[in-house]
Structure 1
Amino acid sequence: MTPALVGPVWRTLPWRGLAAAGTLGLLLAAAPDAAGAEPASWETLTLLRGVALIGALGLAFLLDDPARNLTAPVPTRRPLRQALRVAMVAPLAALWWTAVLLLAPSASRPPAGDITVEAAVLGVLALAGAATAVRLTDEARPGPSVAAALLLAAVLVPLLAPESWALFVPPEDPRWPAAHDRWAVLLAAAAVVWGVCGPEPLGRWGRRLRGVGGPA
């Protein structure tokens, strides 16, 4: 069943939005070199965090499926369909982020592993938000709402988070290691939310099956 899904799933992926986010991210990452000036470390860190957010905003649209109401009753369960979407995009996303790190000014670039964890958290949060929207609503294209919520969270969290849970700190800050321990916790929590929201709710599954095969 899975090989038969590859073609249809590939055609329904939001390639234009993903390509737009990826291109914008690469252009921003390359901007300091194009300007010919070496930015300060905090400027490069802010740039990379902004690029990671752009990539996550693109991933917020990954689970958009115009044919959702038609594919819900098929034998292949939704977690497999979602996993197939992610599997198709994940290698490209990894290559894209590698290119972003290589384009960023090396002299002022923050530790690659730590900033990659931050980027992974944003990406998984976008997917978890999309999966939650798909599970709790009948919206076929939750991407715009998820992207707006992610963008709002990116603005509010640095302003409202208590000092004991500071996340957006510079590498020279002594809180940097502890902050990235918290990033790792967020990554695990977002992955759990995504996993919990992956399956089709049994009540809705039953109603849709009855609607397809039952009396009119």
Structure 2
Amino acid sequence: MRTAAATLLRPIVRTMPWRAITAAGALGLLLAAAPRLTGDDADARLALNALRASAVAFALGAAFVLDDPARHTTAAVPTRRAVRHGLRVLLVVPVTAVWWTAALLLVPGPVRPPAAGITLEAATVLALALTGAALAVHRGDRARPGQAVAGSLLVGSVLGPLLIPGSWALFTTPDDVRWAAAHDRWAVLLCAAVVVGAACATEPRRRLTLRGFRGLRSPSGTSGPSRT
């Protein structure tokens, strides 16, 4: 398995959507720097919203991570889909860690939201993007589902705060008494996204066709009924 993964690593690195990730990361850093650009007028709410927007921007680029122009070719190799997808995710993890650290440091310390809470939100949004891509690959045959996944994520990010009931609020502020409870929900959502993403990394089951049923034989050796 290690040899197969090492063999796949180089072509996977070449086919990774680095341009999309770089563009999304650059946009995210610009958004994170917005409070610093306002000088003394920066406040905690602006910093919080800037980091949330920054996390969504990077996740839009991450939605393209599983785009593979050679998907229908690599599907025939003996290496399982979980390994191929896992390598792509592992390649983007250190990039994400460095990028998010830079985004946090761009926000002035006095108005920076609690790092643990906002990092949990960013990790969940990223996990949702990757899970959406994995689900699109698992359920469909498109080699480049990233654009549709990114569009869905963007729509969900805009409509989510409007549609979620107040009792299940996710987008709270640090001075809100619901901050801790909201991040418990973020943690549950993150776990759910990881579980679904892992399930989508498995090979799809082959569906029996009508032709397959025609070829079935009974225990006595006779063929099953066929339609005339």
TM-score by length of 2: 0.87
- Answering whether residue 54 of structure 2 is matched by residue 51 of structure 1, we say yes
Distance in 2, matches of 1:200 and 1:165, equals 35
Contact 2:65 2:146 in 1 (8 A): yes
Report the CA distance between 1:35 and its aligned residue.
3.7
- Answering whether residue 178 of structure 2 is matched by residue 180 of structure 1, we say no
Number of residues paired by the alignment? Answer: 206
Distance in 2, matches of 1:37 and 1:2, equals 51
Partner residue in 1 for 2:219:
none
Contact 1:38 1:105 in 2 (8 A): no
**Aligned with 1:66: secondary structure?**
coil
**In structure 2, which of residues 192, 196, 200 is the aligned counterpart of residue 197 of structure 1?**
200
Specify the code of the residue in structure 1 equivalent to 2:203: E
Deviation readout 1:58-117 (Å, 9 max, x if unpaired): 110000000001000100011100100111110010010001001112111110000000
Which aligned pairs between 1:162-177 and structure 2 lie closer than 5 A? 162-177=165-180
Higher alpha-carbon Rg: 2
Runs of 4+ in 1 over 4 A off after TM superposition: none
**In structure 1, which of residues 134, 157, 162 is the aligned counterpart of residue 160 of structure 2?**
157
| RMSD after superposition | 1.4
Specify the code of the residue in structure 2 equivalent to 1:117: L
TM-score by length of 1: 0.92
Specify the code of the residue in structure 2 equivalent to 1:154: S
Which aligned pairs between 1:91-106 and structure 2 lie closer than 5 A? 91-106=94-109
**Aligned with 1:202: secondary structure?**
coil
- Answering whether residue 96 of structure 2 is matched by residue 75 of structure 1, we say no
Distance in 2, matches of 1:160 and 1:29, equals 25
Partner residue in 1 for 2:16:
13
Partner residue in 2 for 1:60:
63
More helix by share: 1
Partner residue in 2 for 1:137:
140
What 5-or-longer segments of structure 2 have no aligned partner? 210-228
**Aligned with 1:65: secondary structure?**
coil
**Aligned with 1:37: secondary structure?**
helix
Instruction: Report the identity percentage.
Output: 56
Partner residue in 2 for 1:211:
none
Distance in 2, matches of 1:31 and 1:45, equals 11
Contact 1:63 1:82 in 2 (8 A): yes
Specify the code of the residue in structure 2 equivalent to 1:19: T
**In structure 1, which of residues 104, 108, 121 is the aligned counterpart of residue 124 of structure 2?**
121
Distance in 1, matches of 2:129 and 2:48, equals 21
Partner residue in 1 for 2:89:
86
Contact 2:172 2:178 in 1 (8 A): yes
Report the CA distance between 1:197 and its aligned residue.
0.6
Report the CA distance between 1:38 and its aligned residue.
4.0
Deviation readout 1:111-130 (Å, 9 max, x if unpaired): 00000000000000000000
Report the CA distance between 1:138 and its aligned residue.
0.4
